[in-house]
Structure 1
Amino acid sequence: MEHILTDEGRSAAEDQSISAATMHSAKSDLAWDMIAQPGPVMITAIHAGHTIRDSLLPWLEIDDQARLREEDPLTDFFLPAGDTIFRANRSRFEFDLNRPANKAMSVDPKDTWGLKVWERDLPQEEIDASLALHEQFYRLMAERAEAMIAEHGQILVLDIHSYNHRRGGPNEPADKQEDSPDIDLGATTLDKSVFGGLLDEFAEGLRSRPVRGKSPDVRVNVRWEDGGNFPEWLYARYGDAACVITLEYKKIFMDEWSHSADIAALQELREGFIEAVSRARRWLARPAGAR
């Protein structure tokens, strides 16, 4: 898979800080990368990409650093724990796979947190090209999810994101911890009478590995009313055949202003994620009556 960050070969003596922007510097002609292997776990990083196709650049208003701040760099670091894995290589501002088609690309700053991303005279053919990719993604996800459900009966989809917690500026206080868990599990479509046990096991797995010397603060449905269009679409289409959890990692693994990443924190977070996925796999493998 192209552009998937791994840490193989990095010694403890090497610098534990790396620029997130560097990880996005290589351009890919592919809108995304996907690997489909046997197994019931799909993991996606649909906002991990940063590149913008060349034909759009004349209409791009936002600067590179501000754009990167609103993307989810390094969320692809967690993908290898899955069976089917998906990474968007392009920026969410070229096509946002977690929004419905009518909001997937917008020239209205109201749709992008007040940020002016595109010139208002962005050609319709460019918008149409982005929407065609958005449509293709949902066709691809339907095809893959249905194949996995046909094989396994029930599947787990983990959609990985990250969020800023120092929006006031690089020298301003961080958001209060009570409103900003280290990992916020979006489970708004999850039926706890069906998957509550899996959710509990998954959360405990995330907490089981210390991050910078302490157990991470993992909570459920704290910051967002829903996980976005992708999990809502999965639930509407497949119901309880697909257990969908959106993971929102607070950017404790990087500086959201300088974009330098803390490799040690990333590794520790990934260890917890791998343990959480392992526990979820064991839960899914149990007979329904033993859950």
Structure 2
Amino acid sequence: MERLSIDGIISKIEAEETFHAVSEDYSFTLKIDKYVPYVCGAVHDGHQFRKELWKNCLHTEYERWYEEDPETKNMVISHPILIAGCDSRFEYDLNRTPEEAVFETAWGKQLWKQPLAEEEKEISLQKHTNFYKVVHALISKIEEKFGVCIVYDMHSYNWKRWDREVPTWNLGTSNIDNERFGEQVELWREILASIKLPHGIKQTAKINDTFQGNGYFLKYITNNFKNTLVLATEIAKVYCDEYKQINYPEVVAAVEQQLQSLLPKHAKEFYTKFKN
């Protein structure tokens, strides 16, 4: 893996080079093993938290982990194009607009002992800006090369905090063109419902049951690229104990192994249908 500047990453994309890179400031990773008409993203996978912010933060390391989406990168690690955040959403949230990306309160609790200095905010917002510069270059290249693109926007959610039965998988579709892409959404829902998990973990997949797909990553791509479908895909945190901060690697591996074949099959079907 190379450490590259934003300009360096973008010029490699524009030249259609294959590479594995981490951004110069270690805020995100991008790997391109092959140019294909689909991209996997894990914007909330990151857990890094700048040391300068530690003393000022009221949330514990566990509270941060609880609201992040650990292991979402590993669930799609085998796919040819993967972009993932390295930093915690508590520093800046890649799935929110630049204006809302740096939290003052997070999940009902004040985040900072003292309000963040403007220069601290600027450091974080620059990382947010850089990430989206690369996203823009990447999706531009895929659309230019293939005419269409599909993005699997991977997330997870804390299912135990709900006071009703919630699905293992939720697809958020309220900000995409459902008239055009509805069939592909339903096909993806069926595929997710077919994944078999160990320990008899129940498998259900629903659309807009717990979340509606209001994230900035989805909205940014959808608003800027007319032939790209973003599927906001949330797995309930059945792959960990969300109260004890323990990951279950065998559950993550089961998801990853089945998506190795299921996801490209779905992407191929999408491409075949919409490439013209």
- Shorter-normalised TM-score: what interval? 0.7 to 0.9
Matching of residues 1-291 of structure 1 within 5 Å: 30-36=26-32, 37-107=34-104, 109=105, 112-167=106-161, 175-177=163-165, 180-212=166-198, 213=200, 216-239=203-226, 241-288=227-274
CA contact (8 A) 2:172 2:231 kept: yes
Q: Cα offset for 1:121?
A: 2.8
Separation in structure 2 between the aligned mates of residue 215 and residue 255 of structure 1, nearest angstrom: 15
Separation in structure 1 between the aligned mates of residue 202 and residue 148 of structure 2, nearest angstrom: 30
Separation in structure 2 between the aligned mates of residue 276 and residue 44 of structure 1, nearest angstrom: 16
AA matched with 1:106: F
CA contact (8 A) 1:205 1:279 kept: no
CA contact (8 A) 1:206 1:275 kept: no
Q: For structure 1, which segment, 139-148 or 209-218, has the greater mean C-alpha deviation from structure 2 after superposition?
A: 209-218
AA matched with 1:286: T
Q: Cα offset for 1:205?
A: 1.9
Listed one character per residue, the Cα deviations across residues 248-268 of structure 1 (whole Å, up to 9, x for unaligned) are 110111100111122222222
Listed one character per residue, the Cα deviations across residues 167-219 of structure 1 (whole Å, up to 9, x for unaligned) are 3xxxxxx6422xx1100011223323322232222222222232134661011
- Change in Cα spacing, 1:235 to 1:194, as seen in structure 2 (3 Å) is same
CA contact (8 A) 2:148 2:274 kept: no
AA matched with 2:31: I
AA matched with 2:197: V
Separation in structure 2 between the aligned mates of residue 218 and residue 188 of structure 1, nearest angstrom: 16
Separation in structure 1 between the aligned mates of residue 258 and residue 229 of structure 2, nearest angstrom: 19
Look up the SS of the partner of 1:157 in the other structure: strand
Q: Show structure 1 runs of 5+ residues with no match.
A: 3-27, 168-173
Separation in structure 1 between the aligned mates of residue 72 and residue 49 of structure 2, nearest angstrom: 18
When the two chains are superposed, the root-mean-square deviation of aligned CA atoms in Å is: 2.2
AA matched with 1:235: T
AA matched with 1:186: G
Separation in structure 1 between the aligned mates of residue 124 and residue 102 of structure 2, nearest angstrom: 7
Listed one character per residue, the Cα deviations across residues 27-48 of structure 1 (whole Å, up to 9, x for unaligned) are x951111112311111111111
Listed one character per residue, the Cα deviations across residues 92-118 of structure 1 (whole Å, up to 9, x for unaligned) are 1111000011110022x2xx2212222
CA contact (8 A) 1:81 1:277 kept: no
Separation in structure 2 between the aligned mates of residue 138 and residue 81 of structure 1, nearest angstrom: 23
Which structure features the higher share of strand residues? 2
Q: Percent identity?
A: 25
CA contact (8 A) 1:201 1:279 kept: no
Question: TM-score when scaled to structure 1?
Answer: 0.80
Separation in structure 1 between the aligned mates of residue 60 and residue 67 of structure 2, nearest angstrom: 11
Question: TM-score when scaled to structure 2?
Answer: 0.84
Give the number of equivalent residue pairs: 253
Q: Cα offset for 1:288?
A: 4.5
